[in-house]
Amino acid sequence: MSNPLLSLLNIELPIIQSPMVGVSTPKLAAAVSNAGGLGSIGIGASSVEQARAMLRDTTALTDKPFNVNLFCHTPAVADAEREAQWLDFLAPLFDKFDTPAPTALREIYTSFVEDFGMLEMLLEEKPAVVSFHFGLPPQSSIDALKDAGIVLLCSVTSLAEAQQAERAGVHGLVAQGYEAGGHRGVFDPQQDSEMGTFALVRLLAENCKLPVVAAGGIMDGAGIKSVMQLGASAAQLGTAFILCPESSANPAYREALKGPRAHQTRVTSAISGRPARGMVNRNYIDLETNAPALPDYPIAYDANKALNAAAATKANTEFAVQWAGQGAPLAREMPAAALVKLLAAELK
């Protein structure tokens, strides 16, 4: 079967490991790339120097292509009143852990839309693949990355987003279905079609010229084969790699993924300020009941990170962020290279 996307990415297998910030590591990305897939690191939450170190650490572990993922959200607009109301709402939870709530919140990540230092770093380091989440950067940034010979992918959740990415000149579309774990790649959270992976892949395959990568709920070779039959050129798997020893998921996260909580995932904006799917815990229950208006992403995330840190002082992990997709109960615990090999065998 001819597959132009695999040629474009210079990989052997139609398997991409999702760039999960907080879970993916240079070790994980390199292991997947070395096994014939496309490993990924997420640098959306990193400073320029942290990101450069991650790229170099990955390059030291593999001579194969890997993907570097960036957040392209609309930059946050600070709103002191909204942020104060949110902190007042959270104060009783902080009290339970004998910790005062923060007095102010920060925009903890810079969007790539306005991070020209990050662009300069990427043009210097020249990773093989760069992908965008939450939208697109300025056209000048896209053109500069393309001129440097970098292959560009963009997460899309609807046909309208896909057409926008196609017009901007990216090389491939990551069709992220509503089943997917972690943050929704939706450009505008107010306009989320909540379309599932199968319907979205088929829609894009029929209406777009660019190759499509399916993402969301895919955990094994049968899932990869199914989306390829619908027109995808490859599949992107995230939750499937969380239990690999190379991921940085902590013990509580791993235990949750191996237990009954894996069977209940839900999308909420209450954790970060943007919709994201994870295993249901008190972040979903306590933060969604009678809640005031949320601060912008990622300002709201600053509050959640502080709350989780307060809970952790009492050995409580009920406010930990444990992103996972609807395929979570199918997660398997094995080294990343072994998982890629197994996925390839199942696909055959």
Q: Convert the pLDDT of each residue in 309-336 to its tens digit.
A: 999 999 999 999 999 999 999 999 999 9
CB atoms within 10 A of CB 182: 24
pLDDT of res. 289:
87
Predicted confidence (pLDDT) at residue 238 exceeds the cutoff of 60: yes
CATH fold of 4-75+110-248+327-347: TIM Barrel (3.20.20)
Domain residue extents for the chain = 4-75+110-248+327-347
pTM (2 d.p.) = 0.97
Percentage, residues of the chain above pLDDT 70? 99
Give φ, ψ of 347 to 5 degrees.
-65, -40
pLDDT of res. 2: 64
**Helical (H) or strand (E) element with 154:** strand 151-156
The predicted pLDDT at position 126 comes to: 98
User: What φ, ψ does residue 54 adopt, rounded to 5°?
Assistant: -65, -45
Of 295, 310, 315, 174, nearest in space to 236 by CA: 174
Q: How far is CA 183 from CA 226, 228, 266, in A?
A: 23, 23, 11
> How far, in Å, CA of 41 to CA of 30, rounded?
9
pLDDT one-digit tens code per residue, 138-175: 999 999 999 999 999 999 999 999 999 999 999 999 99
- pLDDT per position as a tens digit, 246-292: 999 999 999 999 999 999 999 999 999 999 999 999 999 999 989 99
Q: What is the mean pLDDT of the chain?
A: 97
CA-to-CA distance for 122 and 230, rounded, in angstroms? 34
CA distance 315 to 213: 39
When pLDDT is averaged across residues 39-47 and rounded to a whole number, the result is 98
The string of pLDDT tens digits covering residues 167-226 is 999 999 999 999 999 999 999 999 999 999 999 999 999 999 999 999 999 999 999 999
